[in-house]
Amino acid sequence: MDTTMNITNTSLRPAPSLARRAPQSVRTDILPRALFVSEVLARRLVHVAQDSFRGESAPDALSGLGTAVLVRSDPKGDEVEAFLRLGDGAIALVDSGHRHVRVEVAAGTRSDAARWVADLREALAIDPPVPDRVSIAFWMRGDCGGDVRHREIDAESFDEIADN
């Protein structure tokens, strides 16, 4: 098979110009992750630690932990996504909603990343749920891909439903 191409062939069409394409909408759901990854690469932070726990991350609580850049927030404040510049050359991505927090920290050393994750957990964690409430994750597919939301629902105790 010949790997060269005859550029005089009139049946070949050039790729369409980007200027002629319809504008694509910006996916705001990937903006925080993109900001986090770009900072990780720019600062050459090689150690990342993650945690997921019951908690709340109000913008006021985040501003006390470092320089917070609020990326996305709903009007009621139930769902917050933020990028934090922490001290000592560390950065964090905090995603919270409906009493569930997910943090991801990048730092220069593994111990620094783990320490910052522990500090965020201590600052943002809330008390365990009451026995008749259960945290459940709902997955849904939208126009921009999949999305997971955590909710709490009322649930009977196992002793009450064991005979069912």
In DSSP terms, 85 is beta-bridged to 67, 91
CATH, residue 117? 3.30.310
Backbone φ, ψ for residue 63 (5° rounding): -65, -25
Which residues have CB under 8 Å from 99's CB, separation 6+? Answer: 54, 55, 56, 126, 129, 135, 150, 152
88: in domain:
yes
Domain count, the chain: 1
9: in domain:
no
Query: What pLDDT, on a 0 to 100 scale, did the predictor assign at position 3?
Result: 45
In DSSP terms, 146 is beta-bridged to 141
112: in domain:
yes
89: in domain:
yes
**Which residue, among 50, 56, 44, has the nearest Cα to 123 in the 3D structure?**
56
160: in domain:
no
pTM, two decimal places: 0.61
On the CB side of 45, how many CA atoms lie within 13 Å of its CA? 27
Q: Which domain holds residue 102?
A: 27-127
84: in domain:
yes
144: in domain:
no
Q: Mind listing the pLDDT tens digit for each residue in 12-35?
A: 555 555 555 555 555 566 777 788
Residue 162: CB atoms within 10 A of its CB come to 8
Q: Report the share of the chain in percent with pLDDT over 70.
A: 73
Q: What is the mean pLDDT of residues 88-95?
A: 85
- Within 45-99, residue ranges assigned H as helices are 59-63
